[in-house]
Each structure stands twice: as structure tokens, then as C-alpha cells.
């Protein structure tokens, strides 16, 4: 069930000098009582001698009635009211006559006959109708964010977000966690995303960096004996934006001492179960499903699979190992693989649809996409069928259990590209065929490779971060075959979104140094960037690990939304601009001089 504002409001607490109650609170239990209410004019209906105003606050809408016979002054004022005027009224709650009850309104059983009114503020005509938010272009809503935020939807989203952070604090506090803040003006590090830099006025030519995450600080707090800490931490990464990525975002960031990965996962499962139960009333099954990285890539083509539908990727490499089909031959010679998706309802896919899927595969770097349909003669109708042997087709039909009307989509390329392309197409098919079931499907992905190969720089790079502990089972490969080493890292995935990730950390200085070496960090570089950290490892540090949840994404999923801008009060556009404040913007010459910066002329 969706988040309900009324169930999460302490009405008594909102009593003030101006008002006795809230609008959405009004029901038949108030009949006969005099109340004072404050709010905005949602709508005015002027019948000449009788005026209705729908008064709105964050809890809902209540109908006010203005009758000149009751109070001519209030009636006269009501005539002048327009949408979004701010009112304070005092009146009596009356039961509506049966024929005037509005079933669509929570407060529709009653209305307030206004005896006194004060217009606290007037308003210009709003730039868009609040109840038409869904239709209004996002650009307009972001420009007038203060109006957008008045809408039911945004009120609900941000109140849900608050509820999630409140629940998080409650839960973690009860488990012995301390909330400790770490610096926002932090240190730039060479690894990972681009840093946002902040020049230092007091230290010419030097820069702080905004933290990409509080990683090293929270580990350091473990070294200091705080045992377990968390933080609702703002993080900054100067990378391109997406529907689920903003340059500044919020993590529920935590770290624990004397634990193993299972302890951390159990803690997160408890936290998420509490959050789901208390915010949207969903009971989550714990423990969550777990899957190795390898299995996830093989089966779903991604490390963040959406388990609300099946449609597994299947491997055809061995089936085609002796094929005469040149494309497959070449791929297999280069240690690539042949994988496919198979589904029913081939008739739903026009030639145009299939061409689009081919384009999609190409956009993910695949050489192409081979498609084929099983027709009524159980033949494989495909542009490439003439290149395939009869027995190969027969074997494929059997392995994939194809029947009339089956559609097969094959990608042959290197492992990563094949998975990537088919993973994306799998999601596309599920959407088109309406296979995505309602509900929430969390799972853990674990057993990640410790490193991946960076093609561009021709070196190893950490899959998670350089402080991730190798798994004991594979650590012996570190020197000779580092790409075979698995890490003690884990991601939590929900409905196809990565909502968090963490790891057990390295607590052995020798291993930490070895990893830095493997990553091609030179000694001076280590000293300069992680000097304090390496040094601290020498002073007795406990085994520790942690995790960070993406709060924005979590709330987005809880609210059944499709972009995180809708759960952020003041988000930025795809070009990282704030449409409300028009940041970023230029600064004065004087400001620049103070921070020892001169600007290059535009080329």
C-alpha cells in the first residue's frame, strides 16, 4: 500500500497560535465543534450568494462554506480569494446533508461554516494547476519547484523520505549504532569518480574535495573503537546524470567492527524489513535471496537483476562449438560466447520491433543481434537459418524447449558485451510482454571479482574500492592471477536497481599495500593520498566491514517512482543545473582573487 500521510501525522503536535487543527483531520467526530484552520485556497466555487472554498494543508482538503447570512464580512472576503491565497479561518464543523456528501473527499462527510476569516497572504495566478502536475513538463515544475512541492505527490514523496530516514535512525540506534558526522570539506583521491573541488583561500593553490563517500572516515572510526557507526551522508560525484543519479545524493552509510559479511547483511535485512513494514506496510521475507556475481551475469546479464520476472539468458556456446557459421566461429575462437533469450509470443514482434532490438544490442557494443521465430512447421525462421546446420537448429530447439511461436534472440560476442546487451534486451522484452510482476524482490549479489581489467589504462582497477578484502578462498591468486581473486563485497539489489553495496575491509597492512601495488599506485602516491590511512593500519585495527544504501533510490522504489528527482526537494537537471536557483553561476573577480584562481579565456 502506498505511504499514507494521515497515518504518519501527529495532529496534536501541529496545534499553534493560528490553528487548532489540520484540514485533513476534520471528520464527523468534530461536528458541532468550533475549529481554527490555516491553509491554501485549493479551489473556490462562487455560487453568487453562497461560496465554497476548498482549504488545503499537507494533510488534505476541507470544504469551507461562506454564507452572507452567517457572516457578511467573511463572505465578502471570500469573494476576493483566489487559488493559493493563504487563509486562516474559524468556524463550526457541520455534518453535510446526505445529498451533499462527497464520497471522493476524505473530509466529505463534513464542512466548516466560516464565522471569521483572515487572508494571511494573497497569491499570483499559479504557473500551473497543482492537480494537473502529472501533465506539466518537468522543466516548468523544477523552475517553480516551490509550487511543485505543494502538490500531494511531492508532499507524499518527501514525507515518505523523511519517514525512511527516521525509521533508519530508530532501527540503527536500537542496534547500538552511533551517528557520527564526517567532513564535507575532504581530500581528493585519485580513485573512482571525478571529485568536486573546493579551492582553499587560506591555502593557496590547494583544494578540498567533496566526499564521494565517507569511506575512509568511517573505517577510521572503527579503528577508534566506536564499534558501529552510521550516517545519513551526502555524497558528491562529478559524473554524468541519469534518472537514478544526481551529482549529490544521500547514502545510509554504515560500518561495523568484529563482524563478518553475514552480520552486515543481516543488519541491512532487518533495517529494510522495518522500513518496508513501517512505511508502506509490506512484509519482507528475510533472509533475502543470494546469488553470486557470476551466476547473476550468466543468468540475467547484469549485476543488478530484476527478479520480478524470469526470462533467463541461456548459453549456446557449446551447442555451436563446431558450427560452420562464420560469425559464431570467430567469436568462439576469440574466447567469446553465444547466448540467447527465448520467449513466447513471437507474433507480437514486428520486423520493426526486431530491428529496434538489433539497434539496442548494437548500442550496448554487440556486433549485432540474431533473431529467429519458430513457425507452424517447427522451422527456425531467421535471416541466418541458411547458415546453420539442421542438427544445430534441432539441438537448439531441444535445449531451449522451443515451440511454435517462440522467439529467439542471440548475441555472440565477448562475455561482458554479450551479457550487457542481453541483460538490457531482457528488460525490454519483459516490459513489452508485460512480464513484470508487482511487488519487491530484493537479493544479494556476492562473490564479485576483486578487480576488473581497465582497457583504457591497461591496468587493474578495483571493482568496488581499493579497501575491499579479498576472499580467503581466492587470496592465494593475488600475485599470479589477480583477475581470478574474488572479493568479500556484496551489493543489495531491489527490483533491478542497485540500492546498496559494501564489503569487508582489508585489516592487514601487508595485503593493503599489495593491493595498492597491484593497482599501480606508486609509493609517493600512496603516501600522498592515503598516508594517514596506511599509518593507522599499524596501530591495532579490528576486523570490520560496512555498507552504504542509496537513500534516494530506496525511497524512489518505495514510492513506486521512476526517477530520483521526485524524492529530492531541489534536484538538478541532466546538465547538473538547478532550475530554481540557476546554479552553478559565475562569481566576482574579487571572489576568484581571494581563492587564488584565474580563469582561462574560452577557446
Residues 29-88 touching RNA, rule: CB under 7 A, are 43, 45-50, 52, 54, 63, 65, 67, 69, 82-83
Q: Contact 258/543 with Cβ under 8 angstroms? A: yes
Q: Quote the CA–CA distance of 419 and 362 in Å, as a whole number.
A: 13
Q: Quote the CA–CA distance of 491 and 113 in Å, as a whole number.
A: 57
92 or 536: whose CB is closer to RNA?
Answer: 92
Site string for RNA, 420-459 (x = CB under 7 A): x---x-------------------------------x---
Supply angle C-alpha 321, 323, 326, rounded to 5: 115
86 or 400: whose CB is closer to RNA?
Answer: 86
Question: Taking Cα atoms as reference points, which of 312, 527, 571, 347 lies closest to residue 425?
Answer: 312
65 or 412: whose CB is closer to RNA?
Answer: 65
Using CB under 7 A as the binding rule, whether residue 207 contacts RNA is answered as no
66 or 325: whose CB is closer to RNA?
Answer: 66
105 or 395: whose CB is closer to RNA?
Answer: 105
> Looking at 148, 244, 255, 306, which residue binds RNA (CB under 7 A)?
244
Q: Which stretch binds RNA (CB under 7 A): 11-19, 22-30, 186-194, 271-279?
A: 186-194
Q: Contact 382/374 with Cβ under 8 angstroms? A: no
At residue 443, the 3 state secondary structure works out as: strand
Using CB under 7 A as the binding rule, whether residue 129 contacts RNA is answered as yes
Using CB under 7 A as the binding rule, whether residue 565 contacts RNA is answered as yes
Using CB under 7 A as the binding rule, whether residue 6 contacts RNA is answered as no
71 or 213: whose CB is closer to RNA?
Answer: 213
Q: Count of residues binding RNA (CB under 7 A)?
A: 72
To the nearest whole angstrom, how small is the minimum distance from the Cβ of residue 497 to RNA? 10
Residues 132-171 touching RNA, rule: CB under 7 A, are 132, 135-140
Is it true that the peptide bond before 78 is cis, omega within 30 degrees of 0?
no
3-state helix, strand, coil in the chain (%, to 5): 35, 25, 40
Residues 307-366 touching RNA, rule: CB under 7 A, are 363-365
At residue 514, the 3 state secondary structure works out as: helix
What are the counts of helices (DSSP H) followed by strands (DSSP E) for the chain?
Answer: 15, 22
Using CB under 7 A as the binding rule, whether residue 12 contacts RNA is answered as no
Question: Taking Cα atoms as reference points, which of 544, 542, 512, 507 lies closest to residue 529?
Answer: 512
Site string for RNA, 509-538 (x = CB under 7 A): ------------------------------
57 or 244: whose CB is closer to RNA?
Answer: 244
Q: Could you tell me which residues are beta bridge partners of residue 53?
A: 44, 64
Q: Quote the CA–CA distance of 179 and 195 in Å, as a whole number.
A: 25
Whole-number Cα distances in Å, 265 to 91, 258, 287, 296, 502: 54, 14, 9, 18, 9
392 or 491: whose CB is closer to RNA?
Answer: 491
Cell numbers standing for residue 522: 606508486
Q: Quote the CA–CA distance of 555 and 158 in Å, as a whole number.
A: 9
Residues 83-112 touching RNA, rule: CB under 7 A, are 83, 96-97, 99-102, 104-105, 108, 111
Using CB under 7 A as the binding rule, whether residue 587 contacts RNA is answered as no
> Looking at 464, 505, 544, 553, which residue binds RNA (CB under 7 A)?
464
Amino acid at each position: 500500500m502506498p505511504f499514507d500521510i494521515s497515518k504518519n501525522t501527529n495532529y496534536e503536535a501541529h496545534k499553534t497560535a493560528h490553528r487548532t487543527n489540520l484540514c485533513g483531520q476534520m471528520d464527523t467526530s468534530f461536528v458541532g465543534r468550533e475549529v481554527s484552520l490555516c491553509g491554501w485556497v485549493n479551489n473556490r466555487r462562487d455560487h453568487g450568494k453562497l461560496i465554497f472554498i476548498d482549504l488545503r494543508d499537507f494533510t488534505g482538503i476541507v470544504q469551507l462554506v461562506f454564507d452572507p447570512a452567517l457572516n457578511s464580512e467573511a463572505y465578502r472576503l471570500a469573494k476576493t480569494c483566489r487559488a493559493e491565497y493563504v487563509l486562516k479561518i474559524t468556524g463550526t464543523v457541520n455534518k453535510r446533508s446526505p445529498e451533499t456528501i462527497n464520497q471522493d473527499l476524505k473530509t466529505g462527510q463534513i464542512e466548516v461554516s466560516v464565522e471569521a476569516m483572515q487572508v494571511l497572504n494573497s497569491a499570483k495566478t499559479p504557473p500551473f494547476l497543482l492537480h494537473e502536475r502529472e501533465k506539466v513538463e518537468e522543466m516548468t515544475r523544477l523552475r517553480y519547484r516551490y509550487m511543485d512541492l505543494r502538490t500531494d505527490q511531492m508532499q507524499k514523496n518527501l514525507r515518505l523520505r523523511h519517514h525512511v530516514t527516521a525509521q533508519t535512525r530508530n532501527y540503527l540506534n536500537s542496534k547500538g549504532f552511533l551517528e557520527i558526522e564526517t567532513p564535507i570539506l575532504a581530500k581528493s583521491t585519485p580513485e573512482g569518480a571525478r571529485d568536486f573541488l573546493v579551492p582553499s583561500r587560506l591555502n593557496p593553490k590547494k583544494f578540498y574535495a567533496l566526499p564521494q563517500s565517507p569511506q575512509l572516515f568511517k573505517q577510521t572510526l572503527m579503528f577508534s573503537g566506536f564499534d558501529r557507526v552510521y550516517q545519513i551522508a551526502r555524497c558528491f560525484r562529478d559524473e554524468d546524470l541519469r534518472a537514478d543519479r544526481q551529482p549529490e545524493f544521500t547514502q545510509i552509510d554504515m560500518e561495523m567492527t568484529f563482524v563478518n559479511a553475514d552480520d552486515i547483511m543481516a543488519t541491512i535485512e532487518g533495517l529494510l524489513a522495518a522500513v518496508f513494514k513501517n512505511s508502506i506496510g509490506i512484509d519482507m521475507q528475510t533472509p533475502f535471496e543470494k546469488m553470486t556475481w557470476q551466476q547473476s551475469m550468466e543468468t540475467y546479464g547484469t549485476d543488478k537483476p530484476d527478479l520480478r520476472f524470469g526470462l533467463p539468458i541461456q548459453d549456446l556456446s557449446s551447442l555451436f562449438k563446431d558450427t560452420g557459421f562464420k560469425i559464431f566461429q570467430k567469436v568462439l575462437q576469440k574466447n567469446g560466447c553465444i547466448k540467447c533469450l527465448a520467449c513466447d509470443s513471437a507474433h507480437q514482434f514486428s520486423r520493426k520491433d526486431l530491428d529496434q532490438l538489433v539497434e539496442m544490442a548494437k548500442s550496448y557494443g554487440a556486433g549485432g543481434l540474431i533473431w529467429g521465430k519458430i513457425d507452424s512447421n517447427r522451422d527456425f525462421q531467421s535471416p541466418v537459418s541458411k547458415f546453420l546446420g539442421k542438427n544445430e537448429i534441432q539441438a537448439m530447439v531441444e535445449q531451449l524447449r522451443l515451440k511454435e511461436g517462440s522467439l529467439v534472440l542471440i548475441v555472440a560476442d565477448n562475455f561482458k558485451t554479450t551479457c550487457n546487451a542481453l541483460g538490457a534486451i531482457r528488460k525490454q522484452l519483459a516490459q513489452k510482454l508485460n512480464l513484470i510482476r508487482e511487488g519487491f524482490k530484493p537479493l544479494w549479489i556476492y562473490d564479485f571479482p576483486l578487480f576488473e581489467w581497465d582497457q583504457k589504462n591497461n591496468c587493474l582497477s578495483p571493482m568496488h574500492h581499493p579497501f575491499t578484502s579479498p576472499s580467503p578462498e581466492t587470496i592465494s591468486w593475488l600475485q599470479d592471477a589477480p583477475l581470478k581473486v574474488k572479493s568479500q563485497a556484496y551489493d543489495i539489489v531491489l527490483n533491478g536497481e542497485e540500492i546498496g553495496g559494501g564489503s569487508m575491509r582489508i585489516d592487514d597492512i601487508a595485503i593493503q599495500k599489495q593491493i595498492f601495488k597491484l593497482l599501480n599506485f606508486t609509493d609517493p602516491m600512496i603516501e600522498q593520498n592515503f598516508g594517514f590511512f596506511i599509518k593507522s593500519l599499524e596501530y591495532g585495527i579490528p576486523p570490520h566491514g560496512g555498507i552504504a544504501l542509496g537513500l534516494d533510490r530506496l525511497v524512489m522504489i518505495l514510492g513506486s517512482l521512476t526517477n530520483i528527482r521526485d524524492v529530492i526537494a531541489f534536484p538538478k537537471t541532466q546538465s547538473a543545473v538547478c532550475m530554481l536557483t540557476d546554479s552553478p553561476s559565475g562569481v566576482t573577480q574579487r571572489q576568484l582573487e581571494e581563492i587564488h584562481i584565474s580563469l582561462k579565456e574560452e577557446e
